[in-house]
Structure 1
Amino acid sequence: MKTKLIIVFTLIAMVTISCNSENKKNNDTLANSITEKYWKLKTLQGQEVIITDNQDHEIFITLHTDENRISGFAGCNSISGEYILKEGNRIQFKNMLTTLKMCPETVVNESQLLKAFELADNYTINDNILSLNVGKRAPLAVFEAIKTK
């Protein structure tokens, strides 16, 4: 009887370890396709984003693998927060924050960009173009990978 219990527990442990390794592998694969890249904003709510002379630098985000952090620049203020990647190219952003500088003239409405993060529930990547989407509708925001780490 003891031998049968040991065999059963060993099999359960092996299956559990195998499943956990596969989940970690799947999460690492998801992360490698979207994380640690400099994503420059190209369009927001269907409108092309063009940097003007008034703006110091481009609008961008980077999803960092350590602690699932997101950081970037929204046109006037720095942005930061957290993200969660799930199977099926699903994504969730949470605890999104910005600095509170006042800028009279910005290229994009920063609240629209934050709203895009709030609403996004999935993403697609094609040829270094990242689209943040809600459901199967048109992209909320489209970014281009400019450089990788």
Structure 2
Amino acid sequence: MKKSIMAVCFLVFLTHCVEMKKQNSEQTEATEKTTDTIKAEENTGDLPIEYAENYFKATGTEPFWGLKIYGDKVELSTIEGDTIIVPHTEPIRVQDANIKMYRAQTEATSMDVIISQKECTNAMSGEVSPYSVTISYKKTGEEESHALEGCGSYVTDYRLNDIWVLEEMMSQKVSKEEFNGKDVPYMEIYTNDNRFSGFSGCNRMTGSLFYEKDLLRFAQIASTQMACPKMERESEFLKALQSGTTYKVENNRLYLSNGSQENLLIFKKID
């Protein structure tokens, strides 16, 4: 009888343990599902422009490969069909040369990407790019690194592709009267081929864009040679335009600044 009672107690205890384990498992599963749902909801929002769009792209042959650099990741596609993704890191810069190295490491892969401002020609298409790119990567467990070479270019911010009319210069509102009464300066930017054209207050102007991430320069500016009253304002505008190095696009406006002065020029977008 005593043995029977002990056996019944043991079965009750065992059943209770199994039930508790089942409840814990269901709670854990519910928590995991909730967590996954939260992550999914967090990832559904639109990413900022610096993350959603790649700002640099490169390709290579022998073997074929493609590279894209975003604000939050570096993505390498190989001819074998692999897509290797590592986190974006701040580039290591070489002093006195436009050379940047992105170095990243994950549990699966280590990767170095070196971008040099050196003209590069695609071996198959003959297309000339302004940057040479070398990549070295190694997957976990591999003894030797993979080395790739190719050509690349920065992808100019598409938001710049528009017509911009000068609104402020050196933190002061501008008017037609300051520029010979004709019109205030304006320009149209063409991001597909990195050039611009427009009116500088008296003369027509054209030039090229030099663009990298967080860097914008208006270069090789050429203009007609007409003489007008108040030419000093046009000279001030052209000097400010050439001295700008950084930019911001916000509220339908383009803000140009440099290391010593913010908002040298402010342009308003017109449709």
The TM-score range, normalised by the shorter chain, is 0.7 to 0.9
Tell me which residue corresponds to 2:246: 122
2:99 is the alignment partner of 1:50:
no
Tell me which residue corresponds to 2:270: 146
Percent identical among aligned pairs is: 26
SS at match of 1:109: helix
Tell me which residue corresponds to 1:103: 228
Q: Which amino acid aligns with 2:239?
A: K
CA distance in 1, matches of 2:163, 2:219: 20
SS at match of 2:193: helix
Q: Which amino acid aligns with 1:84?
A: F
Structure number with higher helix proportion: 1
Structure number with higher strand proportion: 2
TM-score for both structures, normalised by structure 2: 0.42
Max Rg structure: 2
Runs of 4+ off more than 4 Å:
none
Given the superposition, is the C-alpha separation of residues 101 and 125 from structure 1 closer, same or farther in structure 2, using an over 3 Å criterion?
A: same
Q: Relative to structure 2, which stretch is displaced further, 125-134 or 61-70?
A: 61-70
CA RMSD of aligned residues (A): 2.7
Given the superposition, is the C-alpha separation of residues 18 and 38 from structure 1 closer, same or farther in structure 2, using an over 3 Å criterion?
A: same
In structure 1, stretches of 5+ residues that fail to align are: 1-11
TM-score for both structures, normalised by structure 1: 0.74
Aligned pair partner of 1:18 in 41, 48, 67: 67
Deviation readout 1:81-104 (Å, 9 max, x if unpaired): 11112112x101211111111111
How far does residue 49 in structure 1 lie from its aligned partner after superposition? 0.6
In structure 2, stretches of 5+ residues that fail to align are: 1-61, 70-74, 76-151
Tell me which residue corresponds to 1:27: 155
Tell me which residue corresponds to 2:196: 70
User: Residues 256 and 262 of structure 2 are in contact (CA less than 8 Å); yes or no, is this contact kept in structure 1?
Assistant: no
- How many pairs does the alignment contain? 129
Given the superposition, is the C-alpha separation of residues 76 and 42 from structure 1 closer, same or farther in structure 2, using an over 3 Å criterion?
A: same
How far does residue 42 in structure 1 lie from its aligned partner after superposition? 0.4
Q: Which amino acid aligns with 1:102?
A: A
CA distance in 1, matches of 2:251, 2:205: 25
CA distance in 2, matches of 1:99, 1:92: 21
CA distance in 2, matches of 1:76, 1:47: 19
Q: Which amino acid aligns with 1:77?
A: N
CA distance in 2, matches of 1:141, 1:41: 7
Given the superposition, is the C-alpha separation of residues 137 and 99 from structure 1 closer, same or farther in structure 2, using an over 3 Å criterion?
A: same
How far does residue 66 in structure 1 lie from its aligned partner after superposition? 4.0
Select the structure with the greater relative contact order (CA < 8 A; seq sep ≥ 6): 1
